[in-house]
């Protein structure tokens, strides 16, 4: 991965981090507790609790991805970053953005 590709990937990682931060802020609003004194009915309350649980899972997932993107951003200048540790092939940018912790290319991951 040459310098220009690293700079482009840095920009893409920073953009993805910004998207994750925005999603986290949005999800924080939807994970507030469902008040028991709110007269919304039993089924509606259960739906609200279910929706809250889904939002909490999404929030945790976004936080984890944000942390992994941060780690990838810190390691991007390392010489071995973006290179498969098994076959030394380049790891595609899309894979790095989806799975920032990836250290193997897709064929090597599938062979695992």
Question: What average pLDDT score do residues 18-47 get?
Answer: 80
In the predicted model, what is the mean pLDDT of the chain? 88
Highest CATH level, class, for 3-111: mainly alpha
Q: How far apart are the C-alpha atoms of 53 and 56, rounded to whole Å?
A: 5
Between CA 69 and CA 105 the distance in angstroms is 17
Confidence of residue 60 (pLDDT cuts 50, 70, 90): very high
What integer pLDDT is reported at residue 38 of this predicted model? Answer: 56
Can you tell me the mean pLDDT for 69-89?
93
> Which is nearest to 59 in space by CA: 33, 26, 34?
26
pLDDT of residue 35: 66
């Amino acid at each position: 991965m040459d310098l220009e590709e690293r700079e482009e990937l840095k920009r893409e990682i920073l953009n993805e981090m910004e998207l994750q931060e925005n999603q986290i802020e949005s999800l924080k609003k939807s994970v507030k507790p469902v008040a028991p004194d709110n007269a919304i009915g039993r089924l509606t309350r259960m739906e609200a609790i279910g929706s809250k649980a889904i939002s909490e899972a999404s929030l945790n997932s976004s936080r984890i991805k944000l942390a992994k993107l941060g780690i990838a951003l810190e390691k991007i200048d390392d010489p071995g970053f973006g290179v498969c540790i098994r076959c030394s092939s380049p790891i595609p940018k899309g894979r790095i953005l989806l799975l920032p912790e990836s250290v193997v290319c897709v064929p090597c991951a599938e062979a695992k």
